[in-house]
Structures are given as C-alpha cells and as structure tokens.
A and B are shown apart, each in its own frame.
Chain A
Amino acid sequence: MLATPDTPHQIVEIRGGRGMRRHLTDMGFVTGATVTVTAGHAGSIIVSLMDSRVVLGRGMAQRIIVQPLL
C-alpha cells in the first residue's frame, strides 16, 4: 500500500484470495473505506480505519490498493 503516512486514503481495490479478502472485509477493509497509515515502513504497517488500528503484516499491505482522498 503506497501511501503517504498520516494522510487519509480511500481503498480502491483489495487483492488476494477469497478467504483473505473476506477476513479483511470482516475487519473493515472495504472499497471506499478511508484508511490512514500511522506507522511502519518496509514490511508491516499500522493503519487506522473506521475507529480501529490494525497491523498489516508484510505482504498484506501490498494487497490493498489505495488512492489519496480527494
């Protein structure tokens, strides 16, 4: 997920297997949702979305495609 930290972005697409995508949906990651990177760098990152904070391990972040909130 290429995103400038501390800036709200919008989820555009979520890639990956059905099971993982469903699990992400269960945790609030849906297209259109607002997500902000609050910590992390190469590899695992912490994002804030809805009102929760979630760690996305390496490989996971790459599957969530975002664009800056216009």
Chain B
Amino acid sequence: MTRHAHHKPIVVALAGNPNSGKTTLFNNLTGAHQHVGNYPGVTVERKEGHTRFEQHHLDIVDLPGTYSLTPYSLEELVARNFVVEERPDVVVDVVDATNLERNLYLATQFIELDVPVIIALNMIDMAEAQGLRIDAELLGQLLGVTVIPMVATTGFGKQELLEAIADVAAKHTKPTATIHFGNELEPHIAGVAELLDDSTLDDKISISPRWLAIKLLENDAEVIADISEHIPDADNLLGKVTRVREHVESILGEDAEITIGDRRYGFIAGACRRAVTTVKSRRIDVTDLIDDIVTNRIVGIPIFFLLMWLMFEMVFRLGEPPMGWIETGFDALGGLVTSVMPPGELRSLIVDGIIGGVGGVLVFVPNILLLFLAIAFIEDSGYMARAAFVVDKLMHKIGLHGKSFIPMLIGFGCTVPAVLACRTIDDEKNRLTTMLIAPLMSCSARLPVYLLLAGAFFPAALAGKVIFGVYIFGVLLAAVMALIFRKSLFPGETAPFVMELPPYRMPTLRGLLVHMWERTWMYVRKAGTVILVASVIVWALLTHPAPPPQIATAESEHQAASDAVAYSYAGRFSKALEPLIRPLGFDWKIGTSLFAGFAAKEIVVSTLGTVYSLGDTDEQDNTLRAALTSDPNFDPLVALTLMVFVLIYVPCIAVVAVVKKETNSWKWPAFLIFYTTSLAWIVSFILYQGGRLLGF
C-alpha cells in the first residue's frame, strides 16, 4: 500500500554563474512543469518548476546567474535574497567544470553561509575533452560538500543529484569545511561574530553570525541594511565594525574585501591543486580558434554584417511560403463566413473586423518565428556575446555600448520583446536610451504597410529597394536619436561593461525552441488580445453611425463606401483633424488608418482597406492597390512619406504598456509617444514638402 507522502515539498534553489548550464539543468529536471513569473516589485523573471523523485515533491527555482552573494546588479540581488531570506531547503550550485576556479568563488560563499548546498559539477564531458581530470569525491571532501559530476544536456548525473538533494534535505547537511581567512583577519571575524551573537537577533536573522561578520567586513550593503533594521543598537555595532575594518586595512595595506576575495581564491586554488589533474596538454580550444577570426579587428565587423545579412535573407525567404498559406487560409475563412452568413452587422464585424484585423497579424508569425529562432541560435551558441564586443566600437560612437545591440536586433521582429531584452543592460542611461530608440527598428507589424504602398506606387524592380531603404533609414534615425538622447536627456559617462564570453556550444534543440517560443508567444498573445480588441473598436468606429440609404446611386461603389466611412465617428474625427496632416500630403482617409495604427501597426492596412472599400466583398489582392492608385491624392511621394511616418510614429499600445512596466512610471511611455509622433511629423513634413519642391 502506498503511503501518500504528506511531506512538504523540498524547495531547491538552482544557483550558479551565468553560462554554467543552470537553465539547462532546470529544464531537464522540470520538463514542461515550469512557470515563469516575476519577483514582486522588480522586473526580474522568476522561474519555478517542480518534479517528483521517489516519494518527494521538489519545488525548483532557477535563480538568475550570479557571481557572488554580494550583489552587483538587480539580478544578483534577487538571487542573493532568495537564498539568504527565503531559505530554500537545498541550494544546488551549478559549477562549470571547465571554468572551475572562478565558478567555485560563489560556492565558497555558500560554504560561509553555512546552508545545505550541493555542487553540481556540470559539463564534465567538456572538461574531460580538455584533458582535465577532476576527482569529485576528493573535491567534495576538501570543500566539505557533496559534489556530483554532471552533464546537464544529456542528463548524466541527474539521478545522483536527485538522491543527493533528498538526502541533504532530510538531514539538513551543512558544509563541513571552513575557509580560513588568515591570521590577521580571523580574530576580527570571530570578534564581530561574537558581537552579533550578543545582540538580540530576531529570528528573521537566523543566519550564521560568521557569515554576517565576513560580509560586514566586506562592507556588504545589504547586510549592513539588514543589521540596521533588525538589531537594536545597530549603529554602535556598525561603528565597531568600521573601526575593525579600518584597522585591518591599515595592517594589510588593502581593502578588507579585496583581501577576503584573495583568500577565497587561495582556498579554491589549494583545493583544485589537489583534486584536479591535467592529463594531457590542453588541446587547441575550438572556441579560441573561432574567436581569433570572429573578433579580429579587421574581419570581425564584416563577418558580423555578413551574418546579419544572411540571417535576414533566411528569415524573409523561408518565411514567404508559409506566410502565403496563412494569408490564403484567412482569405478563405473570410470568404466562407461571407457566403454562409447573411449580410449585416455581425457578418461585417466578423469578416472585416476580426478576421481582417487578427489575420493580418498572424500572417507574420512564420517570419517572426524564424527571426527569433535565428536570434536564439546566435545567443545559445555564444556568438551573440562576441557580436556585442565587435559592435561595441560602433555603438560607442552613439553613446551606447555593445549590449544595446541585442535588443535592437530583436526589435526587427517585435518591439515588445526588444524592450524586455533591455534588462540585460546594467547601465540605466543606456537602458533607457535603448528602450526609447528600439521602436525605430522597424518591427514586422509595419511591413505590410510598406509592402502595400511600395507595391502599389513603385515599379516592381524598385519596390524592394524602397522598403529596404526605409529599414535602413530607421536604423540611422535610431543612431541619431541615441546620440541626441545621450547628450541631452542622459548625459554623462556610462559605466564601462564587463561581460563574460561563454565557450561556443552547439545549442540544444530544446533550448532553442524554448528560447524562440518565449518571444514569439508575446507577439501572438498581442494579436489575441490588444489587436483583436483594437480591430473590433476600429471597425465599430468606422461603421457607426451607418449612413441613411441613398435614393440615387452614388457615382461608384468606392464613392459610396467612402461616403459611408466619412459619415462614421472615425471619419468625422479624422476630417476634423485633417488640417494637421495636410502639410504631409495626407488626407482624412490616411489619417483614420494612422489613428487606428496606434493600437497596433498591423491594423493600418486593414483600416486603409476598410476606408477605401468597405463592403466590397471581392477579396482580390489588387483591389486595395487599385483603390489607392486611383485616388488622386495618392502618388509615390505621398506613399513614401506615409511609409516614413508609419516607421517613426508612436509604437503600438503593447509597447507603451511594456515600457511603463519596465520603467515603473508613466513619464517614459508618455515621452515615447510624444517624441515619436513629433519626430514622425517633422521628418515627414521635410520629406513631403522637400519632395514637392524638388518636383516629385
């Protein structure tokens, strides 16, 4: 008879350096049973999952990568707080065996913290390939913790790890080694620890006093803040600590925290000398070989541009056929509904509003899927970090640095994940600047507008080049705006960046798919929510109030449709605002679709369609193009101006919402709306009036 385990679930924290394979291990352990949320109050993702092992339930939290328990960034702070404050039952420190000494730096701090910790010695297959032989058991003895050799990608060691987790959780096994910080420091650590022991610690701080003492001597801001909050007479204690620290520094001639760091590495080096042997001289590392070419100061940049070009080519070429299928599918769906339903409001709502609006978005899923797949490959393989290094010089010219390039690249797919990707930029000035210019990287939602307009008004040979030109113009404008923002809104030096380059790895299919899908899903969900609602609203505003039936027939079906729209709320509103956009060559019909585009850029085309031929049931491709070209107000210059306006003006509601969330204020989204719309107007004005003057 099975006894139902009424144990509490074992809470396991997966910690470790970035690139140590934490997330691969997390995926391996939790499979589909995972869930991504947010840590309260901050924009750092919280990844939780669960799994079962024998009779145990394991709740696993994949912490952000961190180098130390004294945090340097928000993500490190989140990781640190989870371990120190939420007290998981077991910490699994994922250590990259090919980078052992640096990775163990964090491990030593878990040992100091005196919490149940297991070291998952990951990537031992690669370590072995490099000629390293690590005696895991001996290493474990020297560090005083269980060390499990693993290969997270294949699952090797998983069983042993799970057994160790269950064992350590049951026995609350703590590390048995102590790092000795030297005869000058140790007495002082003991002294401060004693002071802490004497004070009344409330049970929020049931933390090893020795760890607290070490952290205080390291001048750790979080610990100092915690102590101030929870210990009566904290000022006195902190004053004593300061005096001790100054005394120690005068003897050692160096900051206490630097000395403490040195001693940690010394301890690690000692352990590694005994537990690690090099069997053969290190083979030439493939990573170094590739890097020699790819980061070369002469060929590095051309290689980068070549790869980018290849990527876009692949995305557009491979994406064409499926896009065509989806488009045909939605047309067929619209046709089906039209033939099955009686004419009237409901049919119009479904066909023109919903199918038209949402279909226009979903058509682009293949394109976006492929782009994000390519980006995921570049990230997971390790090249992305090199690309950031290579473009850093260019980025620096506009006041940003290499890391800003990643969000900008993602922006070509959809601006929403691009804004979210800005989280990796530590420097606040750079982060905000990048967020503000990301919308200028023309997202895929704007492409249908370009395709329609360029296709209608420019000869086939020229159309593609015109569209490409618009994209490039967006990039150049982004560079200019970055410069302007960095000089005016966010002046000053930015913190120089330090970034690790992971070894090149062949991405796992699973990792790629997960990575790619996360961002694609944001786009799809945008369709299902914002765009659906917006399409319906726009449709409603364009069809109400309906004009009274005419007794005499109008000049043409187009004229009748146009009159109907003019009669509606949207039409009247746009006519009222027409004077504002006349100088750009736009009339009220264009104005209506631009207005609709505020909700989602995808709707601009469907609204244009509605404005020009509402009620036209012939779903021919050329209908809209013909309608546009036969409109006397519309000519190639107007078309080009409109493309540029759509490139620049206000990003869609989804982007505004995510900017608000990421900056925690209304100030920046409001500014974003203001500056993009003004900039669009100004640039379009210059383009249109200039063009007219030049005789186009």
- A interface residue numbers (CB < 8 A to B): 18-28, 30-33, 38-41, 43-44, 46, 50-60
A54 lies within 8 A of B499 (CB)? yes
In the bound complex, how far is the Cα of B408 from the Cα of A56, in angstroms? 22
Name which residue of chain B comes closest to A16, CB basis: B496
Q: Is the CB of A53 within 8 A of B257?
A: no
**Cα distance, A56 to B219, chains bound together (Å):** 25
Quick one: given A38-B288, A52-B99, are A26 and B105 in contact (CB under 8 Å)? yes
Q: Does B389 contact A (CB under 8 A)?
A: yes
A67-B19 Cα distance, complex, nearest whole Å: 30
Given contacts A39-B291, A39-B296, contact A19 B265 (CB under 8 A): no
A-B pairs with beta carbons under 8 Å apart, 10 shown: A21-B255, A22-B257, A28-B101, A32-B262, A51-B99, A51-B101, A51-B102, A52-B99, A52-B102, A53-B291
Q: Tell which of B70, B500, B503 touches A22, judged by Cβ atoms closer than 8 Å.
A: B70
Residue in B closest to A28 when the chains form the complex, CB atoms: B102
User: Chain A residues with Cβ under 8 A from B389's Cβ?
Assistant: 39-40, 44, 46, 55
On chain A, the residues within 8 Å of B385 by CB distance are 55
- Out of B102, B401, B496, name the residue touching A27 (CB < 8 Å): B102
Residue in A closest to B19 when the chains form the complex, CB atoms: A52
Instruction: Report B-chain residues with C-beta under 8 Å of the C-beta of A32.
Output: 262
Instruction: Report which residue of A41, A46, A50, A60 has the largest number of chain B beta carbons within 10 angstroms of its beta carbon.
Output: A50
Q: Do residues B496 and A56 form an inter-chain contact, with CB atoms below 8 A?
A: yes
A26 to B69, CA, bound (A): 9
* Apart from the given pairs A57-B392, A59-B496, 4 other A-B contacts in the complex at a CB distance below 8 Å: A28-B101, A39-B292, A55-B497, A57-B499
Complex: A40 Cα to B294 Cα, angstroms: 11
Residues A53 and B262 in contact in the complex (CB < 8 Å), given A22-B70, A26-B105, A46-B291: no
A44 and B258 contact, Cβ closer than 8 Å, known pairs A26-B68, A50-B102, A57-B496 = no
B173 beta carbon closer than 8 Å to chain A: no
Q: Are A58 and B396 in contact (CB under 8 A)?
A: yes
Neighbouring A residues of B392 by C-beta, 8 Å:
43-44, 55, 57-58
Closest Cβ of chain B to A5, distance in Å, is 11
Which residues of chain B come closer than 8 Å to A43, judged between CB atoms?
Answer: 392-393, 396
In the bound complex, how far is the Cα of B497 from the Cα of A44, in angstroms? 9
- The 7 A-B residue pairs with the shortest CB-CB distance, nearest first, are A59-B496, A26-B67, A60-B496, A57-B496, A25-B261, A26-B68, A57-B497
Number of interface residues of B (CB under 8 A): 42
Q: Is the CB of A31 within 8 A of B402?
A: no
Q: Does B99 lie within 8 Å of A50, measured CB to CB? A: yes
Task: Report the minimal beta-carbon distance from A59 to chain B, rounded to whole angstroms.
Answer: 4
- In this complex, which of A19, A25, A46 has the most chain B Cβ atoms within 10 angstroms of its Cβ? A25
- Chain A residues lying within 8 Å of B238, measured Cβ to Cβ, are none
A18 touches B500 (CB 8 A): no
Q: Are B99 and A26 in contact (CB under 8 A)?
A: no
Q: Are the CB atoms of B219 and A31 closer together than 8 Å?
A: no
Q: CB distance B496 to A46 under 8 Å?
A: no
- Measured in the bound complex, the distance between the Cα atoms of B493 and A59 in whole Å is 10
- Output the nearest chain B residue to A20 by Cβ-Cβ distance: B495
Give bound CA distance, A23 to B100, whole Å.
Answer: 18
Pick the contact of B261: A20, A22, A40, A55 (CB < 8 A).
A22
- Is B30 at the interface (CB under 8 A from chain A)? no
Could you say which of A22, A24, A39 contacts B295, with CB atoms under 8 Å apart?
Answer: A39
Q: Which of B81-140 contact A (CB under 8 A)?
A: 98-102, 105
**Cα of A38 to Cα of B99 in the assembled complex, Å:** 17
Question: Are B498 and A55 in contact, with the CB atoms below 8 A?
Answer: yes
Q: Collect the chain B residues with CB atoms within 8 Å of residue A50's CB.
A: 99, 101-102
Given the complex of chains A and B, what is the CA–CA distance between A21 and B602 in angstroms? 48
A53 and B501 contact, Cβ closer than 8 Å, known pairs A30-B258, A46-B389: yes
* Most chain B CB atoms below 10 A, which of A27, A38, A43, A52: A52
**B297 contacts the other chain (Cβ, under 8 Å)?**
yes
Chain B proximity of A4: nearest CB distance (Å): 15
A40 and B297 form a contact (CB under 8 A): yes
Chain B residue, CB-CB nearest to A56: B498
Q: Roughly how many angstroms separate A43 CA and B391 CA in the complex, as a whole number? A: 12
Closest to A61 in B: B496
Residue of B nearest to A19 (CB): B72
Give chain B interface residues in 627-657, CB to chain A under 8 Å: none
Residues in B with CB closer than 8 Å to A38 are: 288, 291-292, 295
For A28, the chain B residues whose CB sits under 8 A away are: 101-102, 105, 265
Cα of A57 to Cα of B404 in the assembled complex, Å: 13
* A19-B72, A22-B257, A44-B392 as given contacts; A31 in contact with B262, CB under 8 Å: yes
Q: How far is the CB of B388 from chain A (nearest CB, A)?
A: 8
Cross-chain contact A55 with B501 (CB below 8 angstroms):
yes
